[in-house]
C-alpha cells in the first residue's frame, strides 16, 4: 500500500474522530465484534490492529512535529510490513487536559476509546519501534492477563526523588527505562483506569513519572512488577523492538550565548560558598549574566532587587527578575535562564537544545513536575534544575497579571499555576535535573547528555560538573 494512501487513511480516521468524538469509531468496532475479538486475543497472538501505540508527545510546536514524524514513520513501516495498522496516538492530542503527560489521568480515556485493543505501548518522541519485533514479543504474553513490560532499571542507592523507597534494598524494585518504551496489557490498563477514578494517589506531586507509574502498578505487592523483556532497548542490538536516538537532537548550530540572559539567584550567606563554584565551573561559558542577591556586593558583583531574602520560595525575587529581563536595565535577549546558586549547568548543551525552539513562541522549558494532576492540577518547571523562558513567555506572564501571593511562595509552582491560567504549556526535557547525579539511575543517565544538576549536598560540585556536564570537545562558540 503506498505511503500516501496510509497517511490519507490516517487523516480520514482522525477527521472522523474529531467530528464524532474520540470513542466513536472504536466503540462501534468493539461493540460489533466484542465476543469475536475476545476469543481472538485468548487464542492467537496480537496483530498490529490490536496495538495502541502512544507517543508521549508535547504541545510545543517542535515536539508536536517530532511526534507527528514518529507517527508517520510507524504507519509507513506498518504499510511495508503488511500485517495491519496499529492505532498511533500523540498523547498531547488525546484531550485538552495538559496533565495527560503524567499518563495516569489519561488511562480512563485510553481504556474507553480503544476497548478492542489488546496492548498499549508507550514510547518517547525519539524512541524508534520495529513493528515485526513488537509482534514477536507480544506473542509471548496473553493480553487477557496483567502484564507490565519494559527494560528494567533500578536505583543503586535510595533516592530523594523516589522518596527513599526501598531504602533497605533499592535494587529490589525495577521500573522501566522510558527511552526504551514500556507496554501494558489491556487487562492491566483497564483495571488501572477503573482504579484511578476512585482512588486518590498517596502523593499530590509527580516528580519522577516512570518510577511513580511503576509503584502505582505494583500497588504494594498486590499488582504486577515490571517484567523485563530484553527486546526493549536503548542501544541497537539484535532483535530489539525499540531503540533510542537522543534527548539532545541536532537542530542546527547552537544559539549564540548572547541570546541567553542568565539570572543566578543567591543571597549574602552563600556569596563565599556557592558563587565561587559557579565561577569555577560554568560561568566562563555564559554570555550576559547577573547575580541577584539581598545585598549588593561589588566583588562578585551582585544586584539587589530590593526584595528581602527568604529562606524558601523566592517568588518575589523571581518575579522581580522577570520584570528586569523586560526592562532596559539588561541586554535584550531571546531567552531567560533562571538558576539557583547551587545549580550546575552545561551552557553549550543548553544552547544546542534551544536551537530546536522558536523564541517567538511562548516557551517554558526545563524539568517538568506536576501537582494534583489526577484532580485537574497543574504542571511546573522545577527551579533547581533551571527554568528557561522565551521572551514571549516572560512578556505574557507579566502582561497576564500573574503575581506572587507572598515573597516566599514557591516561585516555580506559582509560575506553573500562572502558565496554566494563560494556557502556556510546560515543555519537558529530562536533561534538566532537580537533584544530584547520585539521585538518578546511572543506567538512565547513561542515555543522556545532561544539561543540569542541582545541590552541593554530600558531593564535590566541581567534580560533578567535570564528570557529567563539561564537554571534552565543546562545540564552536558563536
Sign of CA dihedral 459, 464, 465, 469: negative
Same fold: 3-244 with 257-469: yes
Between these two residues, 231 and 10, which has the higher pLDDT value?
231
CATH topology of domain 3-244: Spore Coat Polysaccharide Biosynthesis Protein SpsA; Chain A (3.90.550)
Residue 16 pLDDT:
35
* Mean pLDDT on 68-72: 98
Q: Does 236 have pLDDT greater than 70?
A: yes
The answer to whether 253 touches 227, Cβ cutoff 8 Å, is no
* Mean pLDDT on 208-224: 96
Residue 308 pLDDT:
78
Residue 425: which pLDDT band, with cuts at 50, 70 and 90? very high
Between these two residues, 73 and 23, which has the higher pLDDT value?
73
Which cell is 316 given? 518575589
- pTM for the structure as a whole: 0.89
**Dihedral, 311, 316, 320, 322 alpha carbons, nearest 10:** 100
Residue spans per domain, the chain: 3-244, 257-469
Asked if the 257-469 domain carries CATH number 3.40.50.150, the reply is no
Residue 462: which region, alpha, beta or left (left: phi > 0; alpha: psi -120 to 50)?
alpha
- Whole-number average pLDDT of the chain: 89
CA distance 139 to 17: 29
* Mean pLDDT on 174-198: 97
**Dihedral, 468, 427, 67, 224 alpha carbons, nearest 10:** 70
Q: Does 2 have pLDDT greater than 80?
A: no
Taking only the tens place, the pLDDT of each residue in 256-279 is 999 999 999 999 999 999 999 999
Minimum mean pLDDT among 60-69, 265-274, 443-452: which range? Answer: 443-452
DSSP 206-252: ESSHHHHHHHHHHGGGTSPPPEE-TTB-SS--TT-SEEE--SS---S
Residue 45 pLDDT:
56
The answer to whether 322 touches 314, Cβ cutoff 8 Å, is no
Residue 324 pLDDT:
97
Taking only the tens place, the pLDDT of each residue in 374-421 is 989 999 999 999 999 999 999 999 999 999 999 889 999 999 999 999
Alpha helices in 44-129 (DSSP H): 61-81, 107-113
Strand, helix or coil at 171? helix
CA distance 55 to 121: 8
Residue 52: which H helix or E strand, with range?
strand 51-55
Q: Does 238 have pLDDT greater than 90?
A: no
Residue 411 pLDDT:
95
* Mean pLDDT on 181-198: 97
CA distance 467 to 63: 29
Taking only the tens place, the pLDDT of each residue in 283-319 is 999 999 999 999 999 999 999 998 877 777 689 999 9
Residue 41 pLDDT:
37
Taking only the tens place, the pLDDT of each residue in 112-170 is 999 999 999 999 999 999 999 999 999 999 999 999 999 999 998 888 899 889 999 99
Which cell is 406 given? 507572598
Alpha helices in 248-390 (DSSP H): 275-280, 315-325, 347-354
Residue 21: which pLDDT band, with cuts at 50, 70 and 90? very low
Residue 444 pLDDT:
87
Amino acid at each position: 500500500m503506498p505511503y500516501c494512501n496510509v497517511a490519507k487513511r490516517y487523516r480520514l480516521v482522525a477527521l472522523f474522530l474529531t467530528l464524532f468524538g474520540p470513542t466513536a469509531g472504536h466503540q462501534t468496532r468493539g461493540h460489533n465484534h466484542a465476543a469475536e475479538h475476545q476469543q481472538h486475543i485468548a487464542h492467537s497472538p496480537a496483530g498490529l490492529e490490536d496495538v495502541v501505540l502512544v507517543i508521549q508527545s508535547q504541545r510545543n510546536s517542535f515536539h508536536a512535529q517530532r511526534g507527528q514524524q514518529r507517527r508517520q514513520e510507524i504507519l509507513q513501516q506498518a504499510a511495508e510490513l503488511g500485517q495491519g495498522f496499529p492505532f498511533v496516538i500523540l498523547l498531547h492530542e488525546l484531550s485538552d487536559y495538559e496533565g495527560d503527560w503524567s499518563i495516569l489521568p489519561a488511562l480512563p480515556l485510553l481504556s474507553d476509546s480503544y476497548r478492542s485493543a489488546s496492548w498499549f505501548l508507550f514510547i518517547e518522541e525519539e524512541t524508534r519501534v520495529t513493528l515485526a519485533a513488537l509482534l514477536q514479543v507480544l506473542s509471548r504474553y496473553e493480553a487477557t492477563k496483567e502484564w507490565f513490560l519494559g527494560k528494567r532499571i533500578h536505583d543503586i542507592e535510595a533516592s530523594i526523588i523516589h522518596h527513599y523507597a526501598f531504602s533497605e534494598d533499592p535494587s529490589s524494585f525495577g521500573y522501566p527505562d522510558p527511552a526504551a518504551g514500556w507496554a501494558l496489557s489491556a487487562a492491566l490498563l483497564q483495571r488501572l483506569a477503573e482504579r484511578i477514578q476512585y482512588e486518590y494517589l498517596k502523593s499530590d506531586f509527580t516528580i519522577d513519572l516512570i518510577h511513580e507509574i511503576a509503584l502505582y502498578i505494583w500497588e504494594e505487592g498486590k499488582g504486577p512488577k515490571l517484567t523485563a523483556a530484553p527486546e526493549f532497548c536503548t542501544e541497537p542490538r539484535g532483535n530489539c523492538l525499540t531503540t533510542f536516538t537522543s534527548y539532545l537532537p541536532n537542530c542546527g548550530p547552537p544559539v549564540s550565548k548572547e541570546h541567553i540572559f542568565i539570572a543566578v539567584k543567591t543571597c549574602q550567606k552563600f556569596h563565599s560558598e556557592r558563587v565561587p563554584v559557579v565561577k569555577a565551573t560554568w560561568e566562563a561559558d555564559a554570555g550576559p549574566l547577573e547575580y541577584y542577591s539581598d545585598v549588593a556586593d561589588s566583588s562578585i558583583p551582585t544586584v539587589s532587587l530590593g526584595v528581602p531574602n527568604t529562606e524558601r520560595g523566592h517568588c518575589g525575587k523571581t518575579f522581580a527578575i522577570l520584570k528586569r529581563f523586560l526592562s532596559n536595565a539588561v541586554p535584550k535577549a531571546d531567552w531567560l535562564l533562571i538558576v539557583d546558586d547551587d545549580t550546575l549547568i552545561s551552557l553549550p548543551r543548553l544552547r544546542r537544545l534551544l536551537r530546536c525552539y522558536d523564541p517567538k513562541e511562548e516557551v517554558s522549558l526545563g524539568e517538568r513536575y506536576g501537582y494534583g494532576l489526577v484532580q485537574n492540577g497543574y504542571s511546573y518547571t522545577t527551579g533547581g534544575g533551571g527554568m528557561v523562558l522565551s521572551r514571549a513567555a516572560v512578556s505574557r506572564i507579566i502582561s497576564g497579571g500573574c503575581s506572587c501571593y507572598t515573597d516566599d511562595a514557591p516561585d516555580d509552582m506559582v509560575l506553573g499555576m500562572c502558565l496554566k491560567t494563560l494556557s502556556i504549556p510546560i515543555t519537558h526535557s529530562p536533561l534538566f535535573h532537580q537533584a544530584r547525579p547520585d539521585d538518578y539511575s546511572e543506567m538512565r543517565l547513561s542515555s543522556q547528555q545532561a544539561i543540569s544538576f542541582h545541590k552541593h549536598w554530600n558531593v564535590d560540585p566541581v567534580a560533578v560538573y567535570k564528570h557529567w556536564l563539561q564537554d571534552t570537545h565543546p562545540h564552536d562558540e558563536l
